[in-house]
């Protein structure tokens, strides 16, 4: 039986790691609680995912100029982790999905992503 596009079944195409990365690409100064709300997961889960992404070299975190928040930079040259996507880097994913469709929020500022 085929499901309709409007049917919100239990599975999705993107993992929580991908959603968090995309949310950070859209707003590299976002608070983790805001990322959690956007992704539909807990703040604690987002903290773990950000740690995973940082440890794997997908992003780096530093203190923002105000000293109160973190600022994130994404290394777009980082490769996908699964062998099925070997030879591709995350730049394509970010280019495709990091900006919102018309009527949504704008994409990430130019300095949020490091091409490398």
Query: What's the domain range around 50?
Result: 16-114
pTM: 0.78
Task: Give me the pLDDT at residue 12, please.
Answer: 87
- The answer to the question of residue 64 being in a domain is yes
Long-range contacts of 72-77 (CB under 8 A, 24+ apart): 72/24, 72/28, 72/29, 72/112, 73/28, 73/111, 73/112, 73/113, 73/114, 74/21, 74/24, 74/25, 74/28, 74/112, 74/113, 74/114, 75/114, 75/116, 76/113, 76/114, 76/115, 76/116, 77/115, 77/116
- The answer to the question of residue 3 being in a domain is no
CATH number of domain containing 85: 1.10.10.10
Question: What percent of the chain is modeled with pLDDT above 90?
Answer: 66
Q: How many domains does the chain have?
A: 1
- The answer to the question of residue 8 being in a domain is no
- The answer to the question of residue 26 being in a domain is yes
- The answer to the question of residue 100 being in a domain is yes
């Amino acid at each position: 039986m085929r499901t309709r596009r409007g049917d919100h079944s239990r599975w999705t195409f993107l993992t929580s790691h991908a959603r968090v990365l995309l949310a950070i690409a859209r707003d590299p100064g976002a608070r983790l609680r805001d990322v959690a709300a956007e992704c539909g997961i807990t703040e604690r889960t987002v903290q773990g995912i950000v740690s995973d992404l940082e440890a794997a070299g997908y992003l780096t975190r530093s203190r923002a100029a105000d000293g109160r928040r973190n600022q994130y930079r994404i290394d777009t040259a980082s490769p996908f982790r699964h062998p099925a996507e070997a030879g591709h880097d995350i730049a394509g994913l970010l280019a495709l999905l990091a900006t919102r469709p018309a009527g949504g929020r704008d994409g990430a500022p130019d300095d949020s992503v490091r091409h490398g």
